[in-house]
Amino acid sequence: MSLADERRAARERALSLLYEAETKGVDGATVLSELPLPADELTEVLVRAVDERRAEVDALLERFAQGWTVARMAALDRAALRMGTAELLTRPEVPTGVILAETVDLASRFGTDGSGRFVNGLLARVAREVRPDAPPSDPPLPAPPAGDEGELEPTVGALVIDLDGVIRHWDTDYYPQVEAALGLPEGALVRVALDPERLARATDGRLRFEEWCEEIGAVLHAEHGIDPEAAAQAWADSQWRIDLDVVELVEAVRERVPVVLLSNASTRLVHDLDRSGILEVFDAVVSSADIRAAKPDRRAYAVAAEAAGVPLERCLFVDDLPANIDGALAAGMDAALFTGVDDLRAALRERQLLR
C-alpha cells in the first residue's frame, strides 16, 4: 500500500471512530481507548485533534454554515467537517487541497447524496479563513459536483410543511372494505370519526388518540349495534402511503435550511411517522394536539417557526388546504399551496432551495 493509500485509509478509520463517538455520545478518546488494538498514528492524531479543538472547530463551522447549526447537521457530515477542520488547524504541513479533497470524498462515499456538496462548500469556506496564505503548490479546492454551478442563496430560512395531503395520503379503499366487514353502511366510520366537533377535539389535544378511537366505537355501537372495540380498532388500523418523491424533496431542502413538520394531528403523530420511517426526515415535528393549537390558528405557525429557529417572515409554509395557506400568509409567512410534486419542486426552486 502506498503512503497516500495509507493516509487515505487512516482518515477513513478516523471518520468511522468519530461517527461512532457521535452515536454513543462520547468523545473520541473514549472510543480509542475501547479498541481491541491501537489505532494507527494518523487515525489517533485526527481523532484527538477533534477532541482537543472541538470548541474552536464548532465555532468555525457555526460561523460559516450560513444559518445552519452544528447540532442540526447529519451525524456523518458533522463528523467529517469536524475532522477536516481540525486537520486544517493542526496539520499545517498537509496541503489544504489534500485535506479538502479527501474529506469530501469520504463524505460523498459514506453520507447522503448531498453530503459531498454540503461538506465541500462549508469546509472550503473554513479553509479560506484558517489558511488564507495557502501556498500556490496546494492542489486546487475540490470543484462542485457536475451541474452544481455556484452556490444557492435561499430566499427563506426554513421550510414548514404539512403532512396529510402533502406527504401522507390515506388509503380511501380501506374504509369501504372495513365498513362492509363490520356490517356498517358505507361512509359510517369516516362520518363518525371525522365529525367536525370530534375531529377538533382529537387534533387540539382534548382527546388522546386512544380516546378518539373509543368514542368512535361507542357511537357506532349506539347507532348500529356493532362491537365497539372492533370499530375502534378499525379506525386505529387506518392505512396510508407516503409520497417518497415529496420526501426526497424535503431531504434535499434540509441540506440548506431547517425543515419542520406542522400537522393538525392526533397524539399518535410521532408513532405514525416512526411507523412510516420518516420521523428522522424533519428537524422538528409540531403536532396540533401537543401544542393545543391547530392551523390556521396563528399560534401553530409561531410554534413551528420557533422550532425552526427562524422568524415567521423567513419561513416558507406548504400545505394542501387554502385555509391553512391563508392563515400562514396572515401570520407573515411566505406560503405555497401544494397541488402536486412538480409544483412543489418549482416553488422550492423559485426560493433557491433546490436546483
292-307 pLDDT, tens per residue?
A: 999 999 999 999 999 9
231-270 pLDDT, tens per residue?
A: 999 999 998 999 999 999 999 999 889 999 999 999 999 8
Half-sphere exposure of 279 (CA within 13 A, CB side): 10
Confidence band for 1, pLDDT divided at 50, 70 and 90: low
CA gyration radius for the chain?
A: 25
| Residues linked to residue 240 through DSSP beta bridges, in sequence order | 170
Answer whether residue 120 shows pLDDT above 60.
yes
Tell me which residue has cell 475532522. Answer: 83
- Of 144, 62, 66, nearest to 100 by C-alpha is 144
Answer whether residue 88 shows pLDDT above 80.
yes
- Cβ atoms of 89 and 130 closer than 8 Å: yes
3-130 matches 158-168+241-350 in fold? no
Instruction: Give the whole-angstrom CA distance, residue 11 versus residue 82.
Output: 12
CATH of domain 158-168+241-350: 3.40.50.1000
Answer whether residue 290 shows pLDDT above 70.
yes
pLDDT of amino acid 313: 94
CB neighbours of 7 closer than 8 A, spacing ≥ 6? 42, 102
Tell me which residue has cell 499545517. Answer: 92
Residue 188: enclosing H or E segment and its boundaries?
helix 188-193
- Of 274, 303, 279, nearest to 291 by C-alpha is 303
CATH class name, domain 3-130: mainly alpha
Burial of 233 (0-12, 13-18, 19+ CB in 10 A): middle
164-212 pLDDT, tens per residue?
A: 999 999 998 999 999 999 999 999 999 999 999 999 999 998 999 999 9
Share of the chain above pLDDT 90, in %: 63
Measured in degrees and rounded to the nearest 5, phi and psi for residue 205 equal 90, -5
Instruction: Give the whole-angstrom CA distance, residue 52 versus residue 76.
Output: 19
- Of 295, 49, 256, 67, nearest to 162 by C-alpha is 295
Give the three cell numbers for residue 153: 442563496
Report which DSSP code applies to 314. Answer: G
- Of 102, 100, 105, 106, nearest to 131 by C-alpha is 100
Residue 349: enclosing H or E segment and its boundaries?
helix 341-350
Three-state SS at 24: helix
Domain boundaries, the chain: 3-130, 158-168+241-350, 174-238
Instruction: Give the whole-angstrom CA distance, residue 18 versus residue 75.
Output: 9
201-212 pLDDT, tens per residue?
A: 999 989 999 999
Length of the chain as a residue count:
355
pLDDT of amino acid 143: 43
Answer whether residue 2 shows pLDDT above 70.
no
Instruction: Give the whole-angstrom CA distance, residue 134 versus residue 186.
Output: 73
Cβ atoms within 10 Å of 210's Cβ, excluding its own: 13
Percent helix, strand and coil across the chain, each rounded to 5? 60, 10, 35
